[in-house]
Amino acid sequence: MASSRKGFRLDRLGGVIAVLIGLALFAAPFATYRANRIVSGEPRMLLDALPPGLASGVLAAALAVAVMAATLRAAPVRLAAAGLGFAAVAPAMGMAALFLTPEGNTFARVSPAFGFWLLMLAFGLLVADSLTRLRLGPWGRLAALGVAAAFVALLLLSGAWSGLSIIKEYAARSDSFWREAGQHLLLALGSLSAALLVGLPTGLLCHRLPRLRSGTLQVLNVVQTVPSIALFGILMVPLGYLAATVPLAAALGIRGIGAAPALVALFLYSLLPIVANTVVGLGQVPAAVVEAARGMGLSPRQRLLQVELPLALPVILAGVRIVLVQNLGLATVAALIGGGGFGTFVFQGIGQTAIDLVLLGAIPTVALAFAAAVVLDAAIELANGTSHD
């Protein structure tokens, strides 16, 4: 009897998840209906946003997930429960759009409301908790990310979400969406690549020359404290002057507005994590290992490439992770100075008071940053295992 009672003991995090699910189902609207894309919306509860039979099924599935989260501790079962929740609620959101939109009406818009996002948060917490309990290695976490990406891709490609307002915003801008996606990645990855080319040698010099280290890191710290909007604005003046006085610079696309100041600003923001982590990583290499390599007859270059950098790689990759996630977010602000990227849709949506247009730029940015963090976390762990071997 004691073991039986212990098996059904309330799980603390599961209890919080169950409360979130209860609030989402009974106290928060599931969908928002608007007569057109810019007017204020009318909230609809779950039972009003779906056909009765489907609403009852989704409600039952979500409540079952809440009960399993609160009472069951086996990680595979909890993960399966979260999968049930996503499989029930995510497609239902697309059905709500079809159900709430009057037939033949091309102006009406249906968007996910707070209750839907609260359910997604609850199921996401349950997935994260389950994966933590399973103690998945880096390849397991990458596989989980792949499954999540495949699920979202299936919903998009199947047309299950075609009636949602954000998908209609995408359909009206599909060409520009992928162009801005490419520009966003160019800004984030281009600035990261330039920072690696400059930051790694600079970090090596700072490691070798302690007198250089303090001044360099102080300067980079000052750059890091400048707000992004201010730095973009500051860079517009010298780059505009350079474009006006040097024909080659203008021919290369360097101008006072556009991608050039955005790239330079993101490059400057990227230097501190790269340089600092390179210094820390090289500093953590055991002196005995370096001496052993010297005793084996390795040249300074060989010691650096074959011993020091491989051992410092996990710390350097941690700096790369910081930079990439940071730049994917900051690249959104580049749209204010004509730099393009997903920020174009964010600021257009703000100007038009069209929240779904804002989400069209914001959601891919968050998804890219999250995926980058997972991939680089796995790379850091793999690098740690390799360096220890």
Question: pLDDT tens digit string along 158-177?
Answer: 999 999 999 999 998 999 99
Domain C-terminal end among 169, 198, 229: 169
DSSP state letter for 332? G
pLDDT at 296 over 90: no
pLDDT given at position 103? 85
Averaged pLDDT, 326-340: 90
Is pLDDT larger for residue 227 or for residue 326?
Answer: 326
Both 255 and 374 in one domain: the answer is: yes
Task: State the pLDDT at residue 2.
Answer: 46
- Is 195 in the same domain as 145? no
State the total domains in the chain. Answer: 2
Range of the domain at 192: 174-388
Are 285 and 203 in contact by the 8 Å Cβ rule? The answer is: no
Q: What is the pLDDT of residues 93-152, one digit of tens each?
A: 999 999 999 888 888 899 999 999 999 999 999 999 999 999 988 999 999 999 999 999
Query: Does 189 lie in the same domain as 164?
Result: no
For residue 109, give the DSSP letter: E
pLDDT in the model for residue 387: 56
The enclosing H or E element of 93 equals helix 75-100
Lowest pLDDT segment from 35-44, 96-105, 329-338, 367-376: 35-44
* Domain end call among 118, 137, 169: 169
Residue 43 in 3-state DSSP? strand
CA–CA gap between residue 65 and residue 71 (Å, rounded)? 10
Residues 308 and 213 reside in one and the same domain: yes
Give me the pLDDT at residue 3, please: 46
Residue type at position 40: S
Q: What is the pLDDT of residue 301?
A: 85
Domain match, 95 and 220 both: no
Specify whether 179 is located in the same domain as 229.
yes
In whole angstroms, what is the distance from residue 164 CA to residue 108 CA?
10
Question: Residue 8's pLDDT is what?
Answer: 56
- Same structural domain, 307 and 162: no
Lowest-confidence pick of 24-38, 69-83, 223-237:
223-237
| Spatial distance between the Cα atoms of 241 and 250, rounded to a whole number of angstroms | 10
As a whole number of Å, the end-to-end CA separation of the chain is 48
338 and 352 share one domain: yes
Q: Model confidence at 1, in pLDDT bands (50, 70, 90)?
A: very low
Who has greater pLDDT, 376 or 337? 376
**90 and 211 co-located in one domain:** no
Please check whether residue 75 is in contact with residue 130, taking contact to mean a CB–CB distance below 8 angstroms. Answer: yes
**Confidence tier at 292 by pLDDT (50, 70, 90):** confident
Higher pLDDT, 336 or 89: 89
- What is the pLDDT averaged over residues 41-66? 94
Mark which of 150, 169, 188 sits at the end of a domain. Answer: 169
Mean pLDDT in residue range 242-271: 81
207 and 90 within one domain: no
pLDDT at 258: 78
| 118 vs 287, more confident | 118
Report the alpha-carbon angle 365-367-372, nearest 5. Answer: 95
Q: pLDDT band at residue 337, thresholds of 50, 70 and 90? A: confident
Helix, strand, or coil (residue 31) = strand
pTM: 0.88
pLDDT of residue 7 exceeding 70: no
Distance of alpha carbon 46 from alpha carbon 54, whole angstroms: 10
Same domain, 214 and 272: yes
Distances (CA, A) of 358 to 93, 160, 322: 19, 21, 25
Same domain for 289 and 250: yes
Select the more confidently predicted residue: 178 or 256. Answer: 178
